[in-house]
Chains A and B, each alone.
Chain A
Amino acid sequence: MKKYWKLTLTLTGIIVLFITFTLQKDRPIKELPQYSFNTVEGDSSLLDDLQVIGDTYDMQYNTYTEFKLTEQSFEKFELLPFYKQEAYQYLPNAIEKLKKEDKNFMRQKSFDDLYDINEDYAAFITLSFSGVWYNYNELKVDIKDRKKDEYKEFTLNVKEDLQLNDITLDQMLIVEDYLYLTVTDYNATEDLYDEDIHLLTIDMEEERVIDSQELAHISDDGTGEENYEVDFVHNEEGSQAAMALYYWGEHERELEKVIYFSGNNEKQVLDVSEGDLAAVADDYLIFVNYENGKSSVDFYSLTEEKFTEHIHLDEYHFVDNTVIEKDILYFTAVNDEIETKAALFAYDLYTFEPLYVGEIVPSKTDQRYAMSISALEFIH
C-alpha cells in the first residue's frame, strides 16, 4: 500500500474536494431566505393556482436569485439545474404554456422580444434579422392562431409604407383580429434629435398596417432628459385592452393619454390624467395611485366615464402586479421602499370587498435581506 501513497492521496483529495465543492457551491444562494404566505384574513384557497415570481437579495454580499412561490412550494431559480434555466430568469407563464402547446412555433422566440398571447392568438414581433444585422425599418411578424392551430408569418416595411426610417419597437398587444404596436422613430441631425412615437394598427388578416397615429414627439439635443413610455394591458380573452402613454419629465412620471381598445378596431381616448394603468376588466379600467404616502387602487367606469370606486391601503404602498382571475382582482404591495415585507391582496370586482389579505413572509428577518415581487401568475 505504501508504494501507492501518491495515487491514493490524490484520489482521496479529489473525492474530498469534489464533495466539498458540491456542498459549498450553492451556499450563498441557499443562505438567502425562503418565503411563504401568511394569511392575515380571508380565504386562502384563492391562492391555489397562484404563483408569485419575485427576487430576493442579500444587500451585504450582493447575492441574488429569482424565486417562485406557491402555497405548496418555494424554489430559487439559481438552484435549478442549468437545462431548466431556459432564460436568465423565469419565463412568463404564458410563454411556458405556449411552449408546451407548440414547441416548434416557440422555437427561437425570446420573451425579450415583443409579444402578446391571449386565448385566440399568440404574436411575436421583431425587427427583421439578416443573419448578420437587424434591419431597423422592417418588421417580422409571427402569428399563431391558437383556435385554428394555424401559423402566419409576414414582414412589414415601415419605410416604404409609413416613411419611418429608423425604429425601435416599444410595446404591442392584440385585440381580436388587430395587432397594436407602438414604435419610436428616430431622426437625428447634427444638433437635433427627433423621436416620434407612433401607434400602428396591423390587420392580422390582411397582413398590413391599416393605420398609423403619432402619439408623441420629442425634439431635444439628445440628452434624453425627456421621454415617453407606453404601457398596454388587456383582458385574458383579448377582447378589450387599454394603452397608457406616460411622459417622463425630470423626475416625475405623468399620465398623458389613455386609449381604450375594444373589438372591431374601435379606439376611444379617455379623459384620465392620474395614476398608473394596471388592468382592464369588463366595465372598468383599473389604475393604481401613490400620493402623499398613501396608495390606492382606483376603478374607472367605462360606462360612466369617471372614477367610481376606490380601494385605499393604509399600511402598504406601491401597488403592483395586478392580475384579474375569475372576477377577482389580485395585487401586491410593500410596506416600505426597501421592500422588506410584501403583502398580497384579493378583492371582489363586483363588491370591491377584500377576499384575501396575506403577507409574504421571509424565513430570515435580517435587515440585509430584501425582496421584490415581479409577477403574479395563475397556473392552469
Chain B
Amino acid sequence: MFRLLNFEFNRIFKLLVGLSIGVFGIQLISVIISTISYKESVIESNLREGMTLQEIVETYGLFEAYYITLNNLFFLPVGICAGVILFSIFFIWYRDWAGKNTFMYRLMMLPQSRMTIYYAKLLTIMITVLSLAFIQYLYLYIYAIVAKLILPSQYIGSLNPSDMISQSSLQVILAPDTLLFISAYLIGTLFVMMMFTLILLERSYKFVGLLIGGLYLFVIASLIIGFIVHQYIFNPYPYFYKTELVIIAILAWLILTLITFIWNRHLMKRKITV
C-alpha cells in the first residue's frame, strides 16, 4: 500500500512543487503591491502633506494582517490550485488507461487487493491538497517578513498569520476552528470519492456509467442545495441550530461516505475492466 502510495505521489510531486512555486511567486507579487501601495499612498503622500506619524496612524490605521491578502491577485493562485486539483482527480485515473501501454492493466495485475490502487490515488489527492493548504500557511510567515522589510516598523500592526486567515477568505482552506478544519477536509475527501465514483462508473459502463454517475452527483448536489436554500435563503433565520447542523452533517457524511465507498469498492473489485 505504502509503495503504491509513494509511486502515485512521486508522479504528482512535480506538479505539487510547480504549484507551490507558482502560488508563492504570484502571492509575493500581490503582497509587495499591497505593501508598496500602503507605503506610497498612506505613509509617503501624507508625510509630504505634513501629517505626523501619529496622525497618519490615527487616520488610516496601521498596516494590519488584512492588507496582506487585500489585493485580488493574492487569491488567483488559490483558484488555479483548486482547478488543477480538480483536473488531477480525473487525470490520476485516466492517464493509466491512456497511452500505448495500458498501465492500469499492470496495476490491476498486482498481487494485492485492487482497492489498494483506489486508496493510493485517494490519499495522493488528499496529501496534495493538504500540502498546498499548509504551504499556504507557511508562506504567510514569509509575507509578514517581506512586509516588515518594506515598511517602517512604526506603521506595522499585527501581522500574525492567524489574523491573516481569520480576516480573509483563507478561512475556507484553513478553517480557524479545529473541528471545522477537520470537517472541511473530510467533506473534501468525500467529494474526491464521489468524483472517483463518476470515473469508475464511466470506466465500467462507458456512457451509461457516466449518466448514472452524473445522476448520482446531481441528486446529492440537489439535496445539499435544497437544504441550504431551506436553511438560509427563504427563511429570515436558519431553521436548524448549529448543534443540530453538526449532527446532520456528521450523519449525512457517514451515510454518503459509506454508500460511495461501498459502490466504489464494488466497481473496483467486480466491474472495472481494462
Q: Is the CB of A126 within 8 A of B236?
A: yes
Find out whether the CB atom of B162 lies under 8 angstroms from the CB atom of A60: no
Q: Is the CB of B130 within 8 A of A7?
A: no
Structural contact, B179 and A110, CB atoms closer than 8 A: no
**Cα separation A107 to B237 with both chains bound (whole Å):** 9
Please state if B127 and A24 are interface contacts (CB–CB under 8 Å). no
Known contacts: A7-B5, A14-B134, A27-B162. The answer to whether A82 contacts B180 by CB under 8 A is: yes
**Max chain A Cβ within 10 angstroms of own Cβ: one of B161, B174, B237, B246:** B237
Q: Does A380 lie at the interface of the complex (its beta carbon under 8 Å from any beta carbon of B)?
A: no
Cβ B179 vs Cβ A82 within 8 A: yes
Residue of B16, B127, B137 near A21 (CB, 8 A) is B137
CA distance A278 to B157 in the complex (A): 39
Q: Assess the B157–A83 pair: CB atoms within 8 A.
A: no
Which A residue sits closest to B134, measured CB to CB?
A17
Q: Which chain A residue has the least Cβ–Cβ distance from B241?
A: A86
Chain A interface size, as a band, is 35 or more
With A4-B6, A24-B162, A28-B162 already in contact, the answer to whether A82 and B236 are too (CB < 8 A) is no
Chain B residues within 8 Å of A17, by CB: 134, 137-138
Given A25-B176, A28-B158, A62-B157, the answer on whether A83 and B242 have CB atoms closer than 8 Å is yes
**Could you tell me the distance between the alpha carbons of A82 and B179 in the complex, rounded to whole angstroms?**
8
User: Are the CB atoms of B127 and A28 closer together than 8 Å?
Assistant: no
Q: Which residue of B lies closest to A80 (CB)?
A: B177
Q: Contacts of A13 on B, CB cut-off 8 Å?
A: 131, 134-135
A21 to B141, CA, bound (A): 11
Q: Pick from B131, B163, B238, B243: contact of A28, CB below 8 A.
A: B163
Verify A62–B64 contact, CB threshold 8 A: yes
Say yes or no: A61-B157 contact (C-beta < 8 A), given A18-B134, A108-B239, A129-B236.
Answer: yes
Whether A3 sits at the interface, judged by CB under 8 Å, is: yes
Chain A residues 49 to 102 lying within 8 A of chain B, measured CB to CB, are: 60-63, 81-86, 99
Q: How far is the CB of B248 from chain A (nearest CB, A)?
A: 11
CA–CA, A10 and B138, complex, Å = 13
Task: Check if B127 sits within 8 Å of A10, measured CB to CB.
Answer: yes
A257 lies within 8 A of chain B by Cβ:
no
**A13 CA to B178 CA in the complex, in Å?**
18
Other A-B pairs, 7, CB within 8 Å; known A6-B6, A108-B237: A10-B127, A14-B130, A24-B161, A24-B162, A25-B165, A25-B176, A63-B158
